[in-house]
Amino acid sequence: MASRSIRDLCDAYRSLMSTMRLSLALALALILVVLATTSCTGGVPTSSPVQSSTTGPSPSSVQPVTDTQSFVAALESAGYKVKEGHVVIPPGYGGFRRLAERIQIDRVDVWVFEFPTHDAYARMRSKISDDGQRIGHASFLWTPHIYGSGRLIVLYIGSRSAPAGQALNELFGKQFAGV
C-alpha cells in the first residue's frame, strides 16, 4: 500500500513539473515577443553610427570576435555606441542554459551567449536550425538573425539594414541562422 501512494505522489510530481515547464516556456515566449517588439520599434537610433556599412572598417582592420570582451571592443572601435548589461535566461531555454548578456548597439538590443569552450559553442550551434525557428527542443515564431564566432553566439531580432544589423554583418559576416 505504501509503495502505491509513493508511486501516486511521484506521478503527481511529474505531472506538476510538466505543467510548470509548459508555463515557463509560455512565459518565456511572451517575454521574447515583448523584447522583439521593443527592440524592433523602440530603440531605433535617430543618427547614424560614426561609421556606416559602406565606410566601416575593412575586414583586415577588424580584430576577430571570439568572446564578449572582443565583441564590445570591436563595436566600440568601429564607432558604435555600446551599453552592456546582464539578463538571466531561464534553464531549458532551447538548451542555452546560461547567462545572456544584453548588449545595446546604438540603443538596440542584441543577446550575447558566451560559451566556456569552442566545443561547447559548436554543440550549441549544432542545435540551432538554419532558419533559427528551432533551438534544441524549443520552437519559436520569430525572425531572428543569429551570428557566431569563437565562443560567442549573438541573437538579434531586427533589420539587417539597421545600424545594429550592419554592425553584426561587419563583425561576423553572414549570419549562420535566421531569416
pLDDT of 113-163, one tens digit each? 999 999 999 999 999 999 998 888 888 888 899 999 999 999 999 998 899
Q: Do the strands 134-135 and 108-114 form a parallel or antiparallel pair, or are they unpaired?
A: unpaired
Max distance between CA atoms of the chain, in angstroms, equals: 77
pLDDT for the residue numbered 16: 42
**Domain ranges across the chain:** 2-44+54-178
DSSP secondary structure letters along 56-100: S--TTTSPPP-SHHHHHHHHHHTT--EEEEEEEPPTTSTT--SEE
> What is d(CA 37, CA 32) in angstroms, rounded to the nearest whole number?
8
CA angle at 93 for the pair 67 and 121, rounded to the nearest 5°: 30
Range of lowest pLDDT (44-58, 83-97, 99-113, 138-152): 44-58
> What is d(CA 100, CA 78) in angstroms, rounded to the nearest whole number?
23
Q: Against a cut of 0.85, is the pTM above it? A: no
pLDDT for the residue numbered 99: 76
Select from 37, 27, 24 the least CA-distant residue to 143: 37
Cell of 125: 550551434
Note whether 137 and 94 are within 8 A (CB). yes
